[in-house]
Structures are given as structure tokens and as C-alpha cells.
């Protein structure tokens, strides 16, 4: 459905995208995962015909994004990273406006957006600027969907949205997928990767890996040991000082530890930490998550 081939794009000196190629299949929920400044927005803007790539080509449903941009604009639904609806128009007016702009009416495609729109319908007379963050996001999604696009492109839709709304939002995306819409979504949150069918890990304008979330973690052969102790700051410093340490990353309540050549065992760390006077020590080996993979890919990439 989406084919990207060797796309590069630079802003003056900064290379935002470097020879990116990837393919999104029909009906897929595809995640573009990477930190801020990785080039996600630039890539999505190229796909939505808002920017021209310096080189390379991209096809959306067989249509060239540079040459057939007019046709592409008919089949794409786009939700930019920033709330981009008219704040001084009411919920209803926004929806109707975007419906007519795309040559349709709100009633015609109401089926598609019903599940999303019914939640904000009680506030349909309210100005969009006065909605809460979660409601704004639902309205933006409704507006992006109103013309029944074949491809839906979402740029960091869950940034700045609370945990409950984020979960709800991903459920909405899953439902849309069932209605035969191909979805490409970008996010800086690694934990959202597991909700996608396939993901591309992107960093500094380059793709590190493309696969299903499970395959990505399965392919990862390193052993990750999760460590917790009372004093996290000291823990991380001590772990980094450990002779066999390759990498230590803080993951919220825990530190994720990778040993040189994966030879370090749990009990080895346990004794080491107890000797240094750590209390409440908890050491266990875990399955690596996407974030672990990402950290290591980034590390090896930078080297």
C-alpha cells in the first residue's frame, strides 16, 4: 500500500532522512518508532505530499507522491502532530467543513467515525479550542477520517495525551484497521510498538530495523538482566562500574543491564551489589522489550 524507496531529505546541513526504504502492506497498522528528531515527521510529510524528497520515490496505493500529489491527497487522511483544526469553530462546524472540503458530507461517512465521534457529540456546539486534549484528538481523528481515506497517517497522535486516552486511542485505531484502512502511525513511545502489526525503528534519519514487534525482540540475542535496588542512582553508577558491564540503562523503576558477551549471571550481580551495601536488591533475567532493542541498535549504530 505504501512503498518508500531510498528517500533522502536534508534541511540545509541537517540530513533529516537518509536513504529510507520501507513498505507498508494493505490493511496493516504500521508503527514508525523513534525519538524526537529522528525524522518521523519529515517522512510523514513527504508521504502526505507536503514536502518533496531530495531523492528517492514513494508510492501511496500505487500513486507517486510527487507526481500524482493531487490524487494522493484524495486517498490520504492526515492528522498532524500539532492540533490543527480551527479553534474558533465548533466541533460540528469543523467536521462539516472538512467533510465538504473533501467533497463529501458528515452523514455519508458517519459509520466510519461513529465509534469515535459519539464520545464528543454531546459537545458538538462547543468551540474546538475549548475541548480537552483527549477530545481534541478524537475530533482531529474524526476530521481526518471523514472522507473515508484508504490510508490514514498519524503523526505522534498520542503525544501529550493521558494514559487512559492513549489506550482508548489505540483501540480506535485497531477498530479502524478492521474497516480496511491502512494506518501508518509515528510515536516516540516504545511501549506502543507492541500494539502495531509491524514497526520500523528510526533514528537520525535512518531505519534501524523493520519487523513485527515480537520478531524484533526475538531476533535480539542479548540477555537483559533487570535490576532494582533501594538507591537507584547509586545502583546505576555501581552497575556501570562493574567489570563485565557493557551497557546499563534506566527503565523507570529498574535498571536494564547487559553484560559483556552475556556471560554475567544473576547471582553474580546479586552478590556484587550486596557487597556494596545495596538493600532491597532484585535481580532477574527478562525478555528484552522493544526499547532494549532500540537502545542497543542505537548504540551499535552510533559506534
- Site residues (vs other proteins, CB under 8 A): 45, 48-52, 69-70, 73-74, 76, 78, 80, 82-89, 93, 96-98, 100-103, 143
Residue 34 vs 80, nearer CB to other proteins: 80
Q: If you compute the radius of gyration of the chain from its CA atoms, what whole number of angstroms results?
A: 22
What is the spatial distance between Cα 191 and Cα 193, in angstroms, rounded to a whole number? 5
Copy the grid coordinates of residue 209: 530495523
Residue 112 vs 195, nearer CB to other proteins: 112
Residue 55 vs 100, nearer CB to other proteins: 100
Q: Least Å distance between CB 176 and other proteins?
A: 18
Strands 55-60 and 63-64: antiparallel
What is the spatial distance between Cα 43 and Cα 115, in angstroms, rounded to a whole number? 29
Q: Least Å distance between CB 98 and other proteins?
A: 7
Q: Least Å distance between CB 245 and other proteins?
A: 45
Q: Least Å distance between CB 293 and other proteins?
A: 32
Residue 81 vs 281, nearer CB to other proteins: 81
Beta-carbon contacts of 43 under 8 Å, excluding residues fewer than 6 positions away, are: 4, 7, 17, 20, 32, 186, 202
Q: Least Å distance between CB 37 and other proteins?
A: 18
The H or E element containing residue 243 is: none
Q: Could you give the angle at the alpha carbon of 6 between the alpha carbons of 212 and 84, nearest 5°? A: 75
Residue 42 vs 226, nearer CB to other proteins: 42
C-beta of residue 179 within 8 angstroms of C-beta of residue 211: no
Amino acid at each position: 500500500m505504501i512503498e518508500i524507496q531510498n528517500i533522502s531529505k536534508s534541511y540545509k546541513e541537517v540530513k533529516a532522512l537518509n536513504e529510507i526504504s520501507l513498505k507498508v502492506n494493505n490493511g496493516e497498522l504500521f508503527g514508525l518508532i523513534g525519538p524526537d528528531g529522528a525524522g518521523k515527521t519529515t517522512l510523514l510529510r513527504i508521504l502526505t505530499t507536503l514536502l518533496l524528497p531530495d531523492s528517492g520515490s514513494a508510492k501511496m496505493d500505487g500513486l507517486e507522491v510527487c507526481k500524482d500529489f493531487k490524487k494522493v491527497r484524495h486517498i490520504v487522511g492526515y492528522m498532524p502532530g500539532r492540533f490543527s483544526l480551527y479553534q474558533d469553530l465548533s466541533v460540528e462546524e469543523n467536521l462539516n467543513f472538512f467533510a465538504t472540503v473533501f467533497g463529501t458530507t458528515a452523514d455519508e461517512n458517519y459509520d466510519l467515525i461513529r465509534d469515535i465521534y459519539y464520545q464528543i457529540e454531546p459537545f458538538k456546539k462547543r468551540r474546538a479550542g475549548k475541548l480537552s486534549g483527549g477530545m481534541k484528538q478524537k475530533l482531529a481523528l474524526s476530521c481526518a477520517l471523514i472522507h473515508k481515506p484508504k490510508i490514514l497517517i498519524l503523526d505522534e497522535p498520542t503525544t501529550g495525551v493521558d494514559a487512559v486516552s492513549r489506550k482508548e486511542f489505540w483501540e480506535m485505531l485497531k477498530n479502524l484497521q478492521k474497516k480496511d484502512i491502512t494506518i501508518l502511525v509515528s510515536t516516540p513511545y516504545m511501549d506502543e510498538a507492541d500494539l502495531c502489526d509491524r514497526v520500523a525503528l528510526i533514528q537520525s534519519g535512518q531505519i534501524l530495523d523493520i519487523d513485527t514487534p515480537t520478531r524484533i525482540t526475538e531476533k535480539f540475542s542479548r540477555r537483559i538482566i533487570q535490576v532494582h535496588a533501594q538507591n537507584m542512582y547509586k545502583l546505576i553508577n555501581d552497575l556501570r562500574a562493574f567489570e563485565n558491564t557493557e551497557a546499563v540503562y534506566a527503565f523507570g523503576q529498574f535498571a536494564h543491564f547487559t553484560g559483556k558477551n552475556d556471560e554475567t549471571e544473576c547471582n553474580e550481580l546479586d552478590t556484587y551489589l550486596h557487597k556494596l551495601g545495596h538493600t532491597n536488591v532484585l535481580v532477574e533475567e527478562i525478555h528484552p522489550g522493544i526499547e532494549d532493542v532500540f537502545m542497543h541498535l542505537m548504540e551499535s549504530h552510533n559506534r
